[in-house]
Amino acid sequence: MIIFNKSLPLSLLTGTLMIGLAADYVAAADAKFVAKNCASCHVLTQPEKDTLQDYMSKKGPDLYYAGNKYRQAWLVKWLQNPQRIRPGGMFFANHTEVTDEGDIIKQSSLPDPVHVKLSKGDAQDSAAYLMTLTAKSDLLAEESYTPKKISKRMGAMNFSKFKGCSSCHRDRPDYGGVSGPELYTAAERLQANFMTSYIRNPQAWESKSLMPNRHLPDKGVSKLVDYLKLLEGK
Ligand code: HEC
Ligand code: HEC
C-alpha cells in the first residue's frame, strides 16, 4: 500500500511528461511538414514589412495569422478537396484581359489544379499547426461580433448597392467582381471576428490590400458580417 501510494504520483508525472513530449514531437513534425510543402507559396512568419511588389507577386495568401483567420474544420475539409476561392487568381491583374465586353479572366493562366491536395491525416495535422500561427491577436481582441437577424434582401442590397462590395467580391457564384475572394463561402471559411476586423481595417491585416477602408461604424461592419453569415451553406 505504501509503495503504491508513493509510486502513483511518480507514474502519473512521468505519464504526463511523456504525453507532453509526444505532443511537442508531433507539433514539431507538423511544423516541418508545412515548412517543407507550403512555404514556397505561403508566408508563415510575419514579415517586417510588406511592399507593393511583395503583394503583387504573392504566390498564395499569407498564413502567418492563420489561427486568427480560419475555422479549423474548414481548413481540414478544404485542404483535402481545395476549390478556387479567388476567381481572378492571387492578383487579378495578372490573370485578366481587357476586352470590349469588359475584363475577362484568362482561365488558362490560373493554376490547374487549383491547389495541392492533402490526405486526411496531413490535412488534419497541417490545420492543427496553422491554428497555432496567431500573429495580430491584438486586432481581434478589439472585436466582439454579436449576431443580429437581418433580411437577406436588405443584406444583399447593402452589400452590393450601398457599400459597393460586389464590385470586387461575389456574394453568389455567378454575380460580383473577381478581384477579391468569393464571399458566399466566407462564413464557412473565416472566423466571425476576423471578418469584422478585416472589413473595419483591411490594411491592418494586409498592408497593401486594394480593399478600401470605408471607416464604417461598428453597426455597419456587423451588418455586413450578418449578411455573410446568412450566406453560409448556400
Ligand atoms: C504552388 C503554390 C502553393 C503551395 C505549394 C501551397 N499553396 Fe496554399 N494556396 C496557394 C494559392 C494560389 C491559394 C489561393 C487559392 C484561391 O484563392 O483560389 C492558396 C490557398 C490556401 C489556403 C486558403 C487561404 C485563403 O485565405 O484563401 C490555405 C489554407 C492553404 N493554401 C494552405 C496550404 C498548405 C497547408 C500548403 C502546404 C501543404 C499549401 N497551401 C501549399 C498556393 C499554394
Ligand atoms: C476594390 C476592391 C474591393 C472592395 C470594394 C471590397 N473588397 Fe473586400 N477584399 C478585396 C481583396 C483584394 C481582398 C483579399 C485580400 C487583399 O488582397 O486585401 C479582400 C478581402 C476581404 C475579406 C477577407 C476575405 C478572405 O477570404 O480573406 C472580407 C471579409 C472582405 N474583403 C469583405 C468586403 C466587404 C464586406 C466589402 C464592402 C464593404 C469589401 N470587401 C469591399 C477587395 C475589395
Which tens digits make up the pLDDT trace of 63-89? 999 999 999 999 999 999 999 999 988
CATH topology assigned to domain 136-234: Cytochrome Bc1 Complex; Chain D, domain 2 (1.10.760)
Q: CA distances (Å), 133 to each of 50, 59, 64, 137, 203, in order?
A: 18, 19, 5, 10, 19
**Quick one: pLDDT band at residue 3, thresholds 50, 70, 90?**
low
pLDDT value at position 106?
A: 86
User: Does 159 score more than 60 pLDDT?
Assistant: yes
For residue 208, which amino acid is it? K
Say how far apart CA 47 and CA 28 lie, in whole Å: 21
Q: CA distances (Å), 181 to each of 27, 79, 150, 165, 178, in order?
A: 30, 17, 23, 11, 7
pLDDT value at position 12?
A: 65
**Domain ranges across the chain:** 1-81+117-135, 84-108, 136-234
State the pairing for strand pair 102-105/170-172: unpaired
Query: Candidates 32, 34, 41, 129: which one to mutate for ligand 1, based on the most atoms within 8 Å of Cβ?
Result: 41
- Taken as a whole, the chain contains a residue count of 234
Query: Could you tell me the distance, in angstroms and rounded to a whole number, from the CA of residue 179 to the centre of ligand 2?
Result: 9
pLDDT value at position 5?
A: 53
pLDDT value at position 108?
A: 86
Asked if the domains at 1-81+117-135 and 136-234 fall in one CATH topology, the answer is yes
pLDDT value at position 49?
A: 87
Say how far apart CA 179 and CA 96 lie, in whole Å: 9
Say how far apart CA 195 and CA 228 lie, in whole Å: 9
**Quick one: pLDDT band at residue 96, thresholds 50, 70, 90?**
confident
User: Does 37 score more than 80 pLDDT?
Assistant: yes
Tell me the pTM. 0.91
Candidates 2.60.40, 1.20.1530, 1.25.40, 1.10.760; correct CATH number of 1-81+117-135? 1.10.760
Query: Could you tell me the distance, in angstroms and rounded to a whole number, from the CA of residue 27 to the centre of ligand 2?
Result: 32
Lowest mean pLDDT among 20-24, 91-95, 140-144, 216-220: 20-24
Q: Which ligand is nearest to the CA of 192?
A: 2
**pLDDT by residue (tens digit) across 123-136?**
999 999 999 999 99
Contact, 90 vs 109, CB < 8 A?
A: no
State the pairing for strand pair 175-176/170-172: antiparallel
Say how far apart CA 224 and CA 105 lie, in whole Å: 27
Identify the bridge partners of residue 99 per DSSP, sorted by sequence position.
Answer: 102
Query: Could you tell me the distance, in angstroms and rounded to a whole number, from the CA of residue 169 to the centre of ligand 2?
Result: 7
**186, 147, 196, 66: CA torsion to nearest 10:** -50
Compute the average pLDDT of residues 98-102: 78
Say how far apart CA 234 and CA 231 lie, in whole Å: 5
Say how far apart CA 222 and CA 78 lie, in whole Å: 26
| Pocket of ligand 1 contains residue 86 by CB under 6 Å | yes
